[in-house]
Amino acid sequence: MDSGTYSLVVSVIQPIVFSCGGLGDVSLEDGLYAYTGSARGTGGFSRVNRHLRVLRGEHDVRKWHVDYLDGHPEVEAYAVVKSKAGECEVAEALDGDHEGVEGFGCSDCGCSSHLHQVDSVETVAAAHSRGSPVVSVKSYTSPRL
């Protein structure tokens, strides 16, 4: 089974405010955001397909913080970066230079955030490659920005 860490990069088409479960209301400027998660559990990287189903409006369950983001109509899939790095290692690497949404996606770890505003997919791949030489990048839609 192929497993590791992924960052789902989404494009926020215009500024949004959404209710995000236990986190309360979250406000995001338009732009690219990277959500970094673990695909080490059952199913490995097939977890990414669940995100894509929520992004396409095909899956209505809202369990994780990121489901509320993926399910927003102004949010589109942009790219997925995968590697064997540790997910918190990647989140911490992004923390240095990128604004994170406090408390997002990190209920189970000590990070300040697993959702970061990013300038490009290359930036995200660079954060992964600090911890792992194996990085794959798959691009989806172009942003409507």
Q: Is 111 one of the binding residues for Zn ion (CB under 5 A)?
A: yes
Q: Is 8 one of the binding residues for Zn ion (CB under 5 A)?
A: no
Asked whether 84 and 134 are in contact (CB, 8 A), the reply is: yes
Using the minimum distance from each CB to Zn ion, give the nearer residue, 10 or 88.
88
Contacts of 52 (CB under 8 A, 6+ apart): 77
Asked whether 30 and 14 are in contact (CB, 8 A), the reply is: yes
* Rounded Cα distance, 11 and 16, in Å: 12
Using the minimum distance from each CB to Zn ion, give the nearer residue, 11 or 90.
90
* Count of alpha carbons within 13 angstroms of residue 98, beta-carbon side: 26
Q: Which stretch binds Zn ion (CB under 5 A): 55-63, 76-84, 100-108, 121-129?
A: 100-108
Q: Is 106 one of the binding residues for Zn ion (CB under 5 A)?
A: yes
Query: Quick one: which of 9, 32, 75, 88 contacts Zn ion (CB under 5 A)?
Result: 88
Using the minimum distance from each CB to Zn ion, give the nearer residue, 54 or 103.
103
| Closest listed residue to residue 91, CA positions, set 4, 5, 10 | 5
| Site size with Zn ion, rule: CB under 5 A | 5
Contact positions vs Zn ion (CB under 5 A):
88, 91, 106, 109, 111
